[in-house]
Each structure stands twice: as C-alpha cells, then as structure tokens.
C-alpha cells in the first residue's frame, strides 16, 4: 500500500473503538486491525505474558508495510509499550499517555478516577502518567473485571449492568473526583449508562485522544484509499456481532495464524 498502513492491535474486539476514532478522523488512511481473540483477555494475565503477546501481535502486523503502530489495548499499553518501542522501527502510540493528558487538562479539581482491567490498574500506568504531568493531582483507581463480559454480552443498557456500574463507581463519588478515565477499550460502549448514573463525572475516552496523537505524528496526510482490514486470531460470530455494534456497520473479518509468519 502506498505510504504504508497504520497497524492497530488489541487483545480482542474493544480496540475497534480506537480504530473507529482513527477512521473517523483520518478517513483516507489505510488501516489494519488485529484482535487477538484466541488469547483474550489480557487483563487478567501476568506482565510477562502481556509483553510476549503484544510483541507477537506487533510482529504479525509488521508483515504489512507499517508506518505507525497503535496499541489499542490499555493492558498492553500499560505493560508492553517500552518493549514495543524498542523493537519496532516505526512510531508506537499507546492509549495511556493520550488519555492521561486529556484527563489532566479536563479536571478542574485535580481529582481523577481511573477504571480498567486488573493488570492495567496494578501497573499504575495511568497514575504515573497523570502525576508526571501534574504531581499535585490525586488519582484513584479501580479494577472493574465484570464490565468487559457484560459489554461483550451486549448488555449496554441493562439493569444488571447498571447495578454493577453503580457498585464499582460509587466510591469515586465519595472521593469527589470530577474526571473518570475509561481505561479499557471496551468501556466507551458504557458511556451512555455511566453518564446517566454519574452525570457529575467528566468521562475520558482515550480513543479520540489517540486518534489526535496519530494525526499529529503523521507528517503528511495520506492519499491512501481509506481501506480497513480486520484480522483476528480466532474468528467467531460473537466478534462479528460486537464489531458491528462498535463500528456501526458490517465489517469483513479474516482469521490469521501466528504460525504463518
């Protein structure tokens, strides 16, 4: 492809929220997405395994003429960004830094909540990124492991999901945060519900911030055809159903194998 493609990977389907934001902002760029659906979830795995999987995903995408790689997975961004930057000859954009920047510029009282997978929260990546921008901020974090399965079930506006969201997020209200970072690629799909239940929180969806960072990094605008290729390590009807929910249209999904590299 002329000028190279932007590669995007996630542990599964959630990173399509980032792919969509990039496509909306840069419609002429050629994009290749890889969802590691055979090995999802990453959020409960050890840092060593998350780094290994992330490097394998990047190598798989490197068989395309990559000009930039987007790590559209908070868990991989939190643990594997340095390893990926060391290995790849192209710029690597994670989701944590853009999300942290946006959170700092959006908060008025300096109290920020962060929700994510267990691995993301344990890494303290958002906390470190926010405090490196402004050390006077207070950052409160919480892992919300039940949200990904509820979202994948399509229960976006369900009373059970509402109960779970209330239980996870109510402590943030007592801590008087004014800004909440949605530190997992699936969570933007719950924006409507969270807004309804906690209208006082300013929600940070790093997908848009990532798309803006990508735009800034590309030296010139592409004259590519705006193709979107979606690859997975395990193709299921479930992926296609959720992908349609996220992208708002049917997409063609192709299964690829790590062995073929």
Binding residues for ligand DGL, per CB under 6 A? 10-12, 14, 40-43, 73-75, 116-117, 120, 148, 184-186
User: Smallest distance from the beta carbon of 239 to ligand DGL, in angstroms?
Assistant: 13
Per DSSP, what are the bridge partners of residue 34? 9, 231
Instruction: Kindly name the residue from 21, 26, 102, 184 that is annotated as catalytic.
Output: 184
CA 167 vs. chain centroid, Å, equals: 23
Listed in sequence order, the DSSP H helices in 15-95 are 16-25, 47-61, 74-87
Compare residues 110 and 145 and give the one whose CB is closer to ligand DGL.
145
Question: 46: helix, coil or strand?
Answer: coil
The reply to whether 73 belongs to the active site is yes
Compare residues 9 and 172 and give the one whose CB is closer to ligand DGL.
9
Compare residues 54 and 75 and give the one whose CB is closer to ligand DGL.
75
* Cβ atoms within 10 Å of 83's Cβ, excluding its own: 17
Instruction: Kindly name the residue from 26, 58, 73, 129 that is annotated as catalytic.
Output: 73
User: Smallest distance from the beta carbon of 241 to ligand DGL, in angstroms?
Assistant: 17
Handedness of CA 150, 123, 132, 57 (dihedral sign): negative
The reply to whether 184 belongs to the active site is yes
Q: Which residue has the tokens 């030296």?
A: 219
Nearest to 98 by CA among 201, 219, 214: 214
Residue 260 is classified by DSSP as G
User: Smallest distance from the beta carbon of 237 to ligand DGL, in angstroms?
Assistant: 19
Compare residues 68 and 114 and give the one whose CB is closer to ligand DGL.
114
User: Smallest distance from the beta carbon of 216 to ligand DGL, in angstroms?
Assistant: 22
Which residues have C-beta within 8 Å of that of residue 36, sequence separation ≥ 6? 9, 10, 11, 12, 42, 53, 57, 232, 233
* Cβ atoms within 10 Å of 219's Cβ, excluding its own: 6
Compare residues 210 and 222 and give the one whose CB is closer to ligand DGL.
210
Q: What is the largest CA-CA distance in the chain?
A: 53
Token reading at 201: 């929180």
Compare residues 184 and 228 and give the one whose CB is closer to ligand DGL.
184
User: Smallest distance from the beta carbon of 165 to ligand DGL, in angstroms?
Assistant: 16
User: Smallest distance from the beta carbon of 146 to ligand DGL, in angstroms?
Assistant: 12
Handedness of CA 248, 249, 250, 256 (dihedral sign): negative
Give catalytic residue positions. 73, 184
């Amino acid at each position: 492809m002329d000028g190279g493609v932007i590669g995007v990977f996630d542990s599964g389907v959630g990173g399509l929220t980032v792919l969509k934001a990039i496509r909306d902002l840069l419609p002429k760029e050629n994009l290749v997405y890889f969802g590691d659906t055979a090995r999802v979830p990453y959020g409960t795995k050890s840092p060593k395994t998350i780094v290994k999987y992330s490097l394998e995903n990047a190598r798989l995408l490197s068989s395309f003429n990559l000009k930039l790689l987007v790590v559209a997975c908070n868990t991989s961004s939190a643990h594997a960004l340095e390893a990926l930057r060391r290995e790849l000859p192209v710029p690597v954009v994670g989701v944590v830094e853009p999300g942290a920047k946006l959170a700092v510029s959006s908060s008025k009282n300096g109290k920020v909540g962060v929700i994510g997978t267990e691995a993301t929260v344990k890494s303290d990546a958002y906390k470190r990124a926010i405090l490196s921008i402004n050390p006077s901020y207070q950052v409160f974090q919480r892992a919300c492991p039940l949200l990904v399965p509820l979202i994948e079930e399509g229960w976006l506006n369900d009373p059970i999901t509402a109960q779970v969201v209330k239980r996870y997020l109510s402590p943030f209200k007592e801590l008087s945060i004014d800004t909440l970072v949605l530190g997992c690629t699936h969570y933007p799909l719950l924006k409507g519900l969270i807004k309804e239940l906690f209208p006082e929180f300013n929600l940070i969806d790093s997908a848009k911030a990532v798309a803006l960072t990508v735009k800034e990094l590309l030296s010139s605008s592409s004259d590519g055809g705006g193709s979107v290729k979606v690859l997975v390590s395990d193709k299921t009807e479930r992926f296609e159903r959720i992908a349609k929910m996220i992208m708002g249209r049917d997409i063609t999904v192709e299964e690829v194998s790590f062995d073929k590299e």
